[in-house]
Amino acid sequence: MASFKNGDVEIAYLDEGEGEPIVLVHGFASTKEVNWVNTAWVTTLTRAGRRVIALDDRGHGASSKLYDPADYHSAKMADDVRALMDHLKIERADVMGYSMGARITAFLAVDHPARVRSAILGGLGVRLVDGVGLPESIADALEAPSLAEVKDPMGRVFRAFAEQTKSDLKALAACIRGSRQTVSRDQVAAIGIPVLVAVGTKDVVAGSGPALAALIPGAQALEIPDRDHMLAVGDKAYKTGVLEFLSQRP
């Protein structure tokens, strides 16, 4: 597996296919394989003639595990993406993030606008600006002695998911406590690249996708029919909409 270091943080990544680059940023408690390989996103994009780069966010997968919440500020996680692009000598790329990965993508677009050709924000709507999507109580669920002792329904979902992906539960708890930043309305209004906001119609975590798209000049909203936060990521309608968006953007 390929990896590089951004300062002291080792970041694992995959790099497949040829063509115009697209960088994929996974969601909380996931990995590049779970979010993008197992859902056939990498296959879909490489078959469409794209070079696909996907990283394991810090604290996740094969990347460094950190235990101080301050190490998971969204701007720091966005800088890992910027550093990966530098490592691969990619000046500018389309970037797609899902859930927490969409928040990281938005921070990248705000902090390093020249590096982002277009942004696809999946699984994150207006809660990018009006509060974070996932409750901090998930950290308590991750730190509970066992899954059986977690009573909060959403906490149980994420604890079970984290165990399924064999994640470092303490690192994830630090991550969810440290990555709870919003982007201001003025900042999203200043985003000058093509943006697609893709949210499932049954997603109660992300907030409204059309409401976020309305705040970003020229942004498009894609509503993924009958999908919640967990199921939207691999949906066929999501893939079709993204490929159409990428084919149309300048």
Kindly report, residue by residue over 215-235, the tens digit of the pLDDT: 999 999 999 999 999 999 999
Length of the chain: 250
Per-residue model confidence (pLDDT) at position 132: 82
**What topology does CATH give the domain 2-131+182-248?**
Rossmann fold (3.40.50)
Per-residue model confidence (pLDDT) at position 76: 98
Q: Domain residues of the chain, as ranges?
A: 2-131+182-248
Confidence of residue 165 (pLDDT cuts 50, 70, 90): confident
Residue entry with tokens 């996103």: 41
Cβ–Cβ < 8 Å for 52, 120: no
Residue 62, number of CB atoms within 10 A of its CB:
17
45, two tokens? 């994009």
134 pLDDT above the threshold of 90: no
Cβ–Cβ < 8 Å for 52, 42: yes
Q: What is the average pLDDT across 73-93? A: 98
pLDDT over 90 percentage in the chain: 95
Cβ–Cβ < 8 Å for 92, 108: no
Strand ranges, E, within the chain: 2-6, 9-16, 20-25, 50-55, 93-98, 116-122, 195-200, 220-224
Among positive and negative, which fits the CA dihedral 60, 66, 67, 71?
A: negative
The Cα–Cα gap between 151 and 93 comes to: 42
131 pLDDT above the threshold of 90: no
State whether residue 147 is helix, strand or coil.
helix
